[in-house]
A and B are shown apart, each in its own frame.
Chain A
Amino acid sequence: MKKSLNGFLLLTVLALALTGCGKASSTTDTNENASSGSTPTEETAGPVTVKHSGGELKLDKPAKRVVTLEWTYTEDVVALGVQPVGSADNANYKVYVTPEAALDDTVTDVGTRDEPNLEAIAALKPDLIIANSNSNIYDQLNAIAPTLEYDLYTGDGYNYDKMTETFNNIAVALGKEDQAKKVLDELDQHYTEAKDKLAAADKSEFHYVLTQAFTYQNAASLRMFTDNAVVIGTLAKVGLVNDWQPDKIEGYGFSTVGIESLPAVQDSNFIYITQPDDDVFGTAMKDNSVWKGLNFVKDKRTYQLDSTTWTFGGPISSKALVDGVVGAITQ
């Protein structure tokens, strides 16, 4: 493994050297400066060093033309007040991620998240690419532009700390550290306000389980989120208590179970996310005797969140989640 790491670092250095050679002969695009005029916060100038899965990435100056290849990073970039020049799977981003982090029409769709179109990315002439670590195209991306890659689901998984850490790293790359601090401070303030609302509604320390449910192989499949999920970390910030505590924690932050596992938590409250065209609890499960026999169903303690509640998102998704949950359980 050490050998591989050395080889990888060597490749990174070579890629950076090649990139540097390429940069030397290019001219600065004066139009790029115009887009930063709207930001009230002062930006970082000069060289920046960013941490990522591959070690550290050095940029001559903060990136302006960003391509994001996973929705998490897309949202992070938008939260910093920047629109990427390209991002992956834009049509579905609109379906699954909160409209509070919407993309402009100016953002080019560069193909699927699994196989982004390398030519489309190259044609955009980005100065930064942000991708997942499981990608096997890092070298090719890095040949196009300096590339950050993050491994969100290893170790403790994509939990709250990793969400803020990734967000802050991206802010460094874009020279937007002040903006990032502002976003996170406002988020903390939002949590405080949410706590007050919950206290006023006598819902402090509200117990719940949170699931994203869909039809899979003709039956209900539920992703029950565990404590290492960013969504659970977010709700913990407002004092809610997650009752889904399985023996085994998965890196993705959820257990995949069927209806049979719900009796064990039927005295908790059931918060769920489904898609409009696959509302499994409103259709397939509606007349199911097991479902109807659960205490939280009989007591009407089930709460549906908006289908655009994105469970692997950044700070904007965390805010949307809190708004959705507080709204659902206090009305």
Chain B
Amino acid sequence: MSSVQHSRPVFNWRTLSIYGGGLTALIVLFFVSLCYGEASIPLHTVVDSLMGRQDTLEHNMIWDLRMPRTVIGILAGGALAVAGSLLQTITRNPLAASDTLGINAGAYFVVVLGTIFFPGLMQQSPFLFAVLGGLLAAAAAYFMGGGRTSSPVRLALSGMIVSMVLGSFTSALHIFFSQETQALFLWGSGTLVQNDWSGVIYAWPWVIGITIVALVLSRQWDMLELDESTASSLGQKVGMARATGLIIAVLLAAVIVSVIGPIGFVGLVAPHLVRLSGIRSNRLLLPGVFLWGAALLVGADVLAKMVHNSSLELPTGAVMAIIGAPWLIWLVLTRMKAANGSGMSTSMSTGARSRRWAFGPIAIIFTVLTLALVLLSTMFGGMRIPMADLLPSLFQSDGLYSAIVQLRIPRTLVAAGAGAALAISGVLIQMAVRNPLADASIVGVSSGAGLGAMMVIILWPGLPVFLLPIAAIVGAGLAAAVVFSLSWKKGLNPSAVVLLGIAMSAIAGAGIQVLIVRGAVYGSSGFIWLTGSTYARTWDQVKIIGVFLLILIPLAWWLARRFELLVFDDNSASGLGLSVRRTRLLAMTVGVLLAAGAVACVGTVGFIGLIAPHMVRLLTGNKLRRSMFLSALVGAVMLVLADTIGRTIMAPTEIPSGLLIAIIGTPYFLYLMYRSNWRKSA
């Protein structure tokens, strides 16, 4: 009896603080939100309009412009938070949310696709398109991550990759069909701006209805919180509950994406905020999560409006990322358990089971292939140069094709060099973090470089052009330095590095969004830079990438023996006398610098650092020096090929190389993931 008496007051107090605090925050933010806008409206006018609306411009602005925005913020924040909570429960993963699982990106991609190819159908039911995209993306991320056996980090990485892939495809659609998509959310970071109540009218029945369904099924979610063996003993219900939870989460995310575009982090932050209070039962958890999700998003929107200058307003999604990413950092630093590497080393060695080929013949074949492709690249473009004319054009300054050849050679060399650098970077970073899904972008290098470059392009467009690569390198270095220094306390644990990198990428990505919106007139050229491009590269870039390669490749070659020991788990490596932390830092630093050099020359090209090491590992196993050599060739081939295709097939318009890499690389990568999982289950 006394124990019962003791627990009830504590329980009630916590519940009350969560609900009372959330409700108070939401009410305050509601009024603040109604007061802020381009026109100045005092609080008493807001109160007057709520008490009794009159047909004045101020009242109309409050009721038909500001309140729809605030209400959609409440619905969106609540829905995304509930979706995040469910996803975390069904995947037993504290990092799951509709954005980390790629659901937002998938829903958004299919909405864009529908707008281009099925505009009439899209007009009637954008929700169906978003649901379809969200479901496909969620399924892809879940199974790529290893399904039920996935670790939190691997699932987060899979979701990140799915988002990257779909983001690239969305970018491709935007470039190829710029006319049809200009009315959509151009930068896809989400905004709450509304012209009327139609978005709210459309969304609220779905959000409230689906949330009620989730609430009714509270016991199902509670069951999934139990440990695996207890849950399994209940048999088939576990699978059914997971599937139901996934569908509910996707529906919630999809309805929101179809109205306001993808907004990240609220689905990740709100559930943790509420769980911190100790609430465990989903019957109490879900309403609290909805409440705090709503408060968080409306708060982010208020901040976005506050920062508004005389020209432009920040996207709410960018502000939400700036709020949410530090939260992810805090989660990693304070609550992450020390993971031993045994699980990951299994993943790392998946590729090694294939039959190995002799290194010599493979090296010769790849070298010949690279040289042949460089030659072909010089021949093809908007105008084809016959082989017989190629050689004279190289040495005559006034030949028939001289001007064109002089344009092609440096960009081909830059593409080859940058591709090689990215590939070697991928080899080193995957080895250092013992995760086959890693490349430089996961330690924030791509986003950091992108942010540095965008600052030069947009904030100081008058600055000399040569500062652009320097800014990119500085941005990349700073991002990596932050990630490394924060994870140093975790002994540069691979999981910590990955998660901190994701947070850093999100912060830099939000900064990029802000700059793009701010520099709308120049947004298009910045956008192409962010996609990754070999356009108009000159001998200056050849020199830059050449210097990086000449310094860093010998260094990596020399350190290769030490780096190889990182493949073992930390205990084994330490037993061999290796300073694991220092060696890991060294490997990642070299990898990051190579990636920074490449990014400085061609912008942010994804996937090469991810794919090239895998292709090579299938052939040669884990010998680092061989992997470096062959990966460099594969990376060079990939980027030179993308460059040649990109400037040929839609001439005179060019397709950025980064998009082609994503389009070419994705099917292979999905096959790789599928194969990896199939082999594991065999």
- Decide: A122 and B403 in contact? CB cutoff 8 A: yes
- Option from A220, A278, A290 in Cβ contact (under 8 Å) with B57: A290
Q: Which of A218, A252, A255, A285 has the most CB of B within 10 A?
A: A218
Residue of B nearest to A252 (CB): B521
Given contacts A120-B652, A217-B186, A217-B191, contact A115 B528 (CB under 8 A): yes
Residues 6-39 of A contacting B (Cβ, < 8 Å): 8, 21-22, 25-26
| In contact, A260 and B39 (Cβ under 8 angstroms) | yes
In the complex, are the beta carbons of A144 and B195 less than 8 A apart?
Answer: no
A216 x B186 contact (CB < 8 A): yes
Q: Which of A54-62, A98-106, A243-251, A318-326 contacts B (4 or more CB under 8 A)?
A: A243-251
Pair A22/B65 contact, Cβ less than 8 Å: no
A288 touches B535 (CB 8 A): no
Q: Are A255 and B407 in contact (CB under 8 A)?
A: no
What is the distance, in angstroms, from B603's C-beta to the closest C-beta of chain A? 12
Q: Are B407 and A136 touching (Cβ within 8 A)? A: no
Q: Which residues of B contact A21 (CB under 8 A)?
A: 397
- Per-residue B-contact encoding for A290-303, CB less than 8 Å = 1, 0 else: 10011000000000
Is A192 engaged at the interface, CB distance under 8 Å to the other chain? no
Which residue on A lies nearest to B189, using beta carbons?
A217
Is the beta-carbon distance between B403 and A144 smaller than 8 angstroms?
A: yes
Kindly provide the distance from the CB of B393 to the nearest chain A CB, expressed in whole angstroms: 12
How far, in whole Å, are A180 and B450 apart by their CA atoms in the complex? 44
C-alpha spacing A289/B462, complex, angstroms: 43
Q: Residues 203-224 of chain A: 1 if any B CB is under 8 Å from the residue's CB, otherwise 0? A: 0000000000011111110000
The answer to whether residues A118 and B310 also contact, given A22-B397, A284-B195 and a CB cut-off of 8 A, is no
A117-B654, A143-B406 in contact; A293/B536 too (CB < 8 A)?
no
Contact with A along B170-196 (1 / 0, CB 8 A): 000000000000111110000101111
* A328–B408 CA distance with the chains assembled, in angstroms: 51
Residue of B nearest to A283 (CB): B195
Question: Chain A contacts of B194 at CB under 8 A?
Answer: 218-219
Q: Which of A134, A250, A289 contacts B63 (CB 8 A)?
A: A289
Q: Helix, strand, loop or mixed for chain A's interface?
A: mixed
Contact A114 B39 (CB under 8 A): no
- Cβ of A264 < 8 Å from any Cβ of B? yes
Bound-state CA distance A216–B313 (Å) is 12
A139 within 8 A of B: yes
State the CA gap A287–B195 with chains docked (Å): 10
A140: chain B residues at CB < 8 Å are 407, 536, 538
Q: How far is the CB of B540 from chain A (nearest CB, A)?
A: 9
CB contacts (< 8 Å) of A41 on chain B: these are none
Is there contact, CB below 8 Å, between B186 and A122?
no
Q: Once the chains bind, are B382 and A119 in contact (CB under 8 Å)? A: yes
Neighbouring B residues of A248 by C-beta, 8 Å: 309-311
Can you name the residue of chain B whose Cβ is closest to the Cβ of A116?
Answer: B652
Q: Which of B65, B191, B199, B407 is close to A122, meaning CB atoms less than 8 Å apart?
A: B407
Contacts of B520 in A (CB 8 A): 256
A256 to B408, CA, bound (A): 40
Tell me if A47 is interfacial: C-beta within 8 Å of chain B: no
Are B57 and A137 neighbours in the complex by a CB distance under 8 Å?
Answer: no
Name the interface size band of chain A: 35 or more
Whether B525 contacts A115 by the Cβ 8 Å rule is: yes
Complex contact B196–A288 (CB within 8 A) = yes
Assess whether A331 is interfacial by the CB under 8 Å rule.
Answer: no
B349-390 CB mask vs A (1 if < 8 Å, else 0) is: 000000000000000000000000000000001110000000
Return chain B residues, CB-CB under 8 Å to A25: 398
Total count of chain B residues near the partner, CB < 8 A: 60
Chain A contacts for B522, CB-based, 8 A: 134
Q: Does A49 contact B (CB under 8 A)?
A: no
Is A263 on the interface with B (CB-CB < 8 A)?
yes
A134: which B residues are within 8 A, CB to CB? 461, 522, 525
- A285 and B465: CB pair below 8 A? no
Taken together as a complex, chains A and B put the C-alpha atoms of A153 and B519 apart, in Å, by: 13
Contact A111 B653 (CB under 8 A): yes
**A200 contacts B by Cβ under 8 Å:** no
A215 cross-chain contacts in B, Cβ below 8 A: 183
B61 touches A260 (CB 8 A): yes
Closest-by-CB residue of B relative to A125 is B403
- Report the Cα distance A75→B403, complex, angstroms: 27
State whether A117 and B382 are in contact (beta carbons under 8 Å apart), knowing that A139-B538, A288-B64 are contacts in the complex: yes
User: When the two chains form their complex, are residues B65 and A290 in contact, meaning their CB atoms are under 8 A apart?
Assistant: yes
The answer to whether B465 and A260 touch across the interface, beta carbons within 8 angstroms, is: no
What is the CB-to-nearest-CB distance from B599 to chain A, in angstroms, rounded to a whole number? 16
* A217–B64 touching, CB < 8 Å: no
CB distance from A52 to the nearest CB of B (A): 15
Q: Which residues of A contact B398 (CB under 8 A)?
A: 22, 25-26
Contacts of B38 in A (CB 8 A): 257-258, 260-261
Using A109-B652, A122-B404, A217-B191 as known contacts, say yes or no to A136 and B311 having CB atoms under 8 A apart: no
B300-311 contact mask (Cβ, 8 Å, vs A): 1 or 0? 000000000111
Q: Residues of A contacting B185 with CB < 8 Å?
A: 217-218
Chain A residues with Cβ below 8 Å from B63 are: 289
B60 at the interface (CB under 8 A from A): yes
Determine if B186 and A294 form an interchain contact, defined as CB atoms under 8 angstroms apart: no
Is B281's beta carbon under 8 Å from chain A? no
Interface hits, B190-219 → A, CB 8 Å: 191, 193-196, 199
Q: Report Cα–Cα, A111/B648, bound state, in Å.
A: 12
B353 CB, min distance to chain A CBs, angstroms: 44
A256 to B183, CA, bound (A): 16
Is B596 on the interface with A (CB-CB < 8 A)? no
Q: Please tell me which one of the listed residues A123, A250, A252 contacts residue B382 in the complex, with CB atoms under 8 A apart.
A: A123
B524 within 8 A of A: yes
Q: Is B260 an interface residue (CB 8 A)?
A: yes
A290 to B65, CA, bound (A): 8
Let me know if A217 and B468 touch, CB within 8 A: no
1/0 per position for B404-418, CB-CB distance to A under 8 A?
Answer: 101110000000000
Assuming the A-B contacts A134-B522, A218-B191, A218-B193, are A247 and B310 also in contact, with contact meaning beta carbons closer than 8 angstroms in the complex? yes
Check if A238 is an interface residue, CB within 8 A of chain B.
Answer: no
| Min distance, Cβ A259 to any Cβ of chain B, angstroms | 7
In the complex, chain A residues whose CB is within 8 Å of the CB of B533? 115
Closest Cβ of chain B to A312, distance in Å, is 10
B60 x A289 contact (CB < 8 A): yes
Q: Is B312 an interface residue (CB 8 A)?
A: yes
Complex formed: what's the CA distance from A143 to B538 in Å? Answer: 12
For A288, list chain B residues within 8 Å (CB): 64-65, 195-196
* A77 interface residue (CB < 8 Å to B): no
Asked if A293 meets B404 with Cβ closer than 8 Å, knowing A22-B397, A110-B652, A256-B520, the reply is no
Report Cα–Cα, A288/B407, bound state, in Å.
53
- Which of B310, B403, B406 has a CB less than 8 Å from the CB of A255? B310
Q: Is the CB of B310 within 8 A of A290?
A: no
Residue of B nearest to A248 (CB): B310
A292 to B422, CA, bound (A): 56
> For B37, what are the chain A residues with a Cβ–Cβ distance below 8 Å?
260
Q: Does B55 contact A (CB under 8 A)?
A: yes
| Chain B residue, CB-CB nearest to A23 | B398
**Can you sample 22 A-B contacts with CB below 8 Å?**
A22-B398, A111-B653, A115-B535, A117-B382, A117-B653, A119-B404, A123-B404, A136-B468, A154-B462, A216-B186, A217-B185, A217-B186, A218-B260, A248-B309, A256-B520, A258-B193, A258-B313, A260-B61, A290-B61, A290-B64, A293-B56, A293-B60
**What residues make up the interface of A, taking CB atoms closer than 8 Å to B?**
4, 8, 21-22, 25-26, 109-112, 114-120, 122-123, 134, 136-137, 139-140, 143-144, 151, 153-154, 214-220, 246-248, 250, 252, 255-261, 263-264, 266, 278, 284-285, 287-290, 293-294
Further pairs besides A109-B652, A288-B64: 10, Cβ < 8 Å: A112-B654, A117-B382, A117-B651, A119-B383, A140-B407, A217-B193, A248-B310, A250-B310, A256-B311, A256-B312
Give the 4 A-B residue pairs with the shortest CB-CB distance, closest first. A117-B652, A111-B652, A122-B403, A219-B193
Query: Which residues on B are within 8 Å of A, measured CB to CB?
Result: 37-39, 55-57, 60-61, 63-65, 182-186, 191, 193-196, 199, 260-261, 309-313, 315, 381-383, 397-398, 403-404, 406-408, 461-462, 464-465, 468, 520-522, 524-525, 528, 533, 535-536, 538, 647, 651-654
